[in-house]
Amino acid sequence: MSYSIEIKRQVFRIKQSKCCRFSELYGFMLACGAFAEPGMIKIAVKNEDFFEYYVSLLENICQIDLKAKYVTVKGSRQVTYILQILDPDTALPIAERFGYPDRLESFANELSECCMRAFIRGAFIATGFIADPEGRYCLELTIKDPLATPIFLEAMRKLKVNPKCGKRAGRDVLYLKSADEIGDFLGNIGAKKSAFEYANAEIEKTILNSVNRVMNCETANINKLIDAAQKQRDAILKLKGSGYRGVDESLREAAELRLENMDMSLTQLGKLHSPPLSKAGMAHRMKKLIELAANLPDPPEQR
Ligand SMILES: [Zn+2]
């Protein structure tokens, strides 16, 4: 089951009062574009349970029997369940019952908060998409009726969710990309468990990011150590090539230790020295070796 369907099932048939059922059905139908063509009503969805539930809700609210108006269409991958009311004598009274389109604009303003949530929930069940929070964060509502887009935007803003609006294949798409906002949206439509999952995923990602930052920092330090050791080796090889000219015995021991143990830190090298040297003592010797090498003329280029 996709993550979207899982969430939809969580909020589908949620316990609610009568006023909310109407709003949820309206949100569902508007997002589906049920009224988008004047004089007819069409609902087309891929999920049989959602289809049957909302059609029977519509029958119930409008006191009408719609059984004869169902069709199912078998696509190449999925069946589409379609309710099509083509005769205006049936379609128009239904549209009127919802106040479509005359009272559409004022609809969001007339809604109480419980109904506003139900309205958005219906739209989400109809055409919503949500990505699994393990990956990217994304929630989308495709609105198949352009007249309804501002109403959904308004309702969501009233619930303190501020989606962005884009277009895909000529349709309006309202979308959220931050875990916080998606969590708020899910909380509003009653998907408390998933709201929690989204919040959790965000926390996990924040922790992972800071672990990565620390690791990157350590890698940078290691790279710095490697650079330093290579610089020391180059200097020592140059001195060695000149027969350690002007290099006293104690410096020479330090030089040989470095060449033999390129992977060691200065502290570790100091411990191998006899007598043992501190990190600072070893660092001083390395610095001296680099200075001496810098004063040597460069060896003639090999031909
Ligand atoms: Zn309500």
Residue by residue, pLDDT tens for the chain (303 residues) are 899 999 999 999 898 888 999 999 999 999 999 999 988 999 999 999 999 999 999 999 999 999 888 888 888 888 999 999 999 999 999 999 999 999 999 998 889 999 999 999 999 999 999 999 888 899 999 999 999 999 999 999 999 999 999 999 999 999 999 998 999 999 999 998 888 888 888 788 888 888 888 888 888 888 888 888 889 999 999 999 888 888 898 899 999 999 998 888 899 999 999 889 999 999 999 999 999 999 888 766 555
Ligand 1 centroid–CA 39 distance in Å is 28
Ligand 1 centroid–CA 265 distance in Å is 70
Nearest to 239 by CA among 301, 302, 300, 298: 298
- 125 and 22: one domain? yes
Ligand 1 centroid–CA 191 distance in Å is 17
Domain limits at 148?
3-190
In angstroms, the first-to-last Cα distance of the chain is 70
246: left (phi over 0), alpha (psi -120 to 50) or beta: left
- 185 and 222: one domain? no
Total domain count, the chain: 2
Q: Let me know if residue 8 belongs to a domain.
A: yes
**pTM reported for the whole predicted model:** 0.70
Ligand 1 centroid–CA 80 distance in Å is 30
User: What is the C-alpha separation between 159 and 117, in angstroms, rounded?
Assistant: 8
Ligand 1 centroid–CA 22 distance in Å is 8
- 14 and 137: one domain? yes
- 219 and 138: one domain? no
Name the β-bridge partners of 72. Answer: 81
Ligand 1 centroid–CA 109 distance in Å is 13
- 119 and 228: one domain? no
Within 10 A of 150 (CB to CB), how many other CB atoms are there? 15
Q: Let me know if residue 85 belongs to a domain.
A: yes
- 153 and 225: one domain? no
Ligand 1 centroid–CA 18 distance in Å is 7
Q: Let me know if residue 209 belongs to a domain.
A: no
Ligand 1 centroid–CA 17 distance in Å is 6
User: What is the C-alpha separation between 184 and 163, in angstroms, rounded?
Assistant: 11
Amino acid at 191: A
Q: List C-alpha distances in Å: 44 to 35, 53, 131.
A: 12, 13, 23
Ligand 1 centroid–CA 37 distance in Å is 28
* CA neighbours closer than 13 Å in the CB half-sphere of residue 241: 13
- 77 and 7: one domain? yes
Q: Let me know if residue 277 belongs to a domain.
A: yes
pLDDT at residue 299 in the model: 66
- Assigned token pair, 299: 């060896």
- 174 and 263: one domain? no
- 24 and 104: one domain? yes
Which CATH number goes with the domain that contains 173?
3.10.28.10
Ligand 1 centroid–CA 23 distance in Å is 7
Ligand 1 centroid–CA 121 distance in Å is 12
